[in-house]
Structure 1
Amino acid sequence: MLREYCPTFLDVFAGKSATNLAKPEARAVLAIAPTPAHIAKFTKARIMAALRGAGRQRGLDAVRHRNPRRVAEPQLRQSELIEKAMGCQTHALLATLDTACAGAADLERAAVKAFQPAS
């Protein structure tokens, strides 16, 4: 979906692996800004707050090198109506991804608990 209307988001957050989109920081920014038009409207402070809200505590200065506002840089864009519709679809897909990530975290905790030595 992002390749269709916001390919720069993939460059900023996915890097060399599409699975980086499952990271809490990428999902947090995508949740508050599902389109380039949304990202263009907020400040770096708001981005940093979203990253902190996603649990990122260290390396926030590294955001300067991967600045999420780059998503709003000039690029080939869809019409406003199409971009809004794709943003809505992205929110729906993000909800599914959030659920899958929560399930994976639950499974990880259960596996760790199951393999801990009995005390």
Structure 2
Amino acid sequence: MAKQDLLSIVEKIIALDSQMRFASIIDLKGNIVEGIMKTGKNSLESQHQEEHFCKQVSQRRKMRKEFDRPLGKVRYVHVEREKVTQFVIYTSRKTIFFTMEPELTIQRKMKIVSQIKRIAANL
């Protein structure tokens, strides 16, 4: 998939809600292939910390695979922190990682996850 197509996907994701903070597409090695911080939002991590986190996302994806047979494939991972909500969605060849403000209702968060799955269905 062309870099411009990946940028378009990330732009659509970040535009889903005003409470979005950061959206990225990560390859299977944990490299950020495209990412956008929402205009007006400040990163809570340094670029080095963000890159390190994404490498760990890739490692955890590999670790979770060993449970796919008995439990089924992971649909998404949701981490609720004091300052930020983090989501990881697996597609066949890429990983979508995005953050948002924690104040959103769980119903709104689940709607956003569903929208992102549709947007990223071809990754």
Higher strand share goes to which structure?
Answer: 2
Fold match (TM-score > 0.5) = no
Structure whose CA Rg is larger? 1
Higher relative contact order by CA 8 Å / sep ≥ 6: 1 or 2? 1
Instruction: Give me the TM-score of the superposition, normalised by structure 1.
Output: 0.30
